[in-house]
């Protein structure tokens, strides 16, 4: 029988980047891009968080959670741009990557924590939007090795 640590360390799945978006300014529309340069220590080129230090240089959200959020607020669809996350990932459980290092296409990120919703989700998604996002808001990360992140690129846990 495997130990709890062995179970936590078992992540053979490979995810995929499904969408990339940049926030050029506070409250500005997200700009979808096919690729973006992730810079060590400063985040994504062209994103409003670029140049800030800290643990929230990049935000990622699980594609599989978007239909759940939409269902919780009674919308037919919810887009990653509405949720103001930088990278949409499918095929790998982002929450299982918390406090881990991941390769996202050509960059390496450290997943630093959960990305909790803000009150703006009430404006964007309607009444109950904040609560619909709880537990589905994705994760935050910081860039530890710069590189280009592309739509369609792989997302894998870095072992070792």
d(CA 84, CA 90): 17
The pLDDT of residue 109 is 96
At 5 the three-state DSSP class reads: helix
Per-residue pLDDT tens for 21-54? 998 887 888 999 999 999 998 899 998 866 556 7
The CATH H-level superfamily of 20-155 is PK beta-barrel domain-like (2.40.33.20)
Cα separation, 43 vs 74, whole angstroms:
34
How far lies 24's CA from each of 27, 46, 86, 107, 120, in Å?
9, 6, 11, 21, 17
Residue 117 · residue 16 · CB < 8 Å: no
Q: For position 159, what pLDDT does the model report?
A: 78
Look at residue 55 in the predicted model and tell me its pLDDT. 80
- Domain boundary assignment for the chain: 20-155
**Residue in 110, 117, 122 with CA at minimum distance from that of residue 135:** 117
């Amino acid at each position: 029988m495997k130990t709890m640590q062995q179970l936590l360390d078992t992540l053979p799945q490979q995810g995929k980047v499904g969408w990339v978006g940049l926030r050029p300014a506070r409250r500005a529309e997200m700009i979808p891009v096919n690729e973006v340069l992730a810079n060590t220590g400063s985040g994504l080129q062209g994103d409003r968080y670029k140049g800030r230090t800290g643990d929230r240089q990049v935000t990622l959200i699980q594609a599989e959670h978007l239909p759940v959020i939409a269902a919780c607020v009674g919308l037919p669809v919810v887009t990653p741009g509405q949720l103001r996350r930088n990278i949409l990932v499918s095929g790998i459980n982002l929450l299982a990557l918390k406090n881990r290092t991941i390769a996202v296409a050509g960059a390496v990120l450290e997943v630093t924590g959960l990305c909790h919703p803000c009150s703006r989700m009430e404006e964007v998604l309607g009444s109950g939007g904040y609560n619909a996002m709880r537990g589905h808001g994705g994760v935050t990360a910081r860039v530890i090795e710069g590189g280009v992140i592309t739509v369609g690129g792989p997302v894998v846990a870095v072992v070792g």
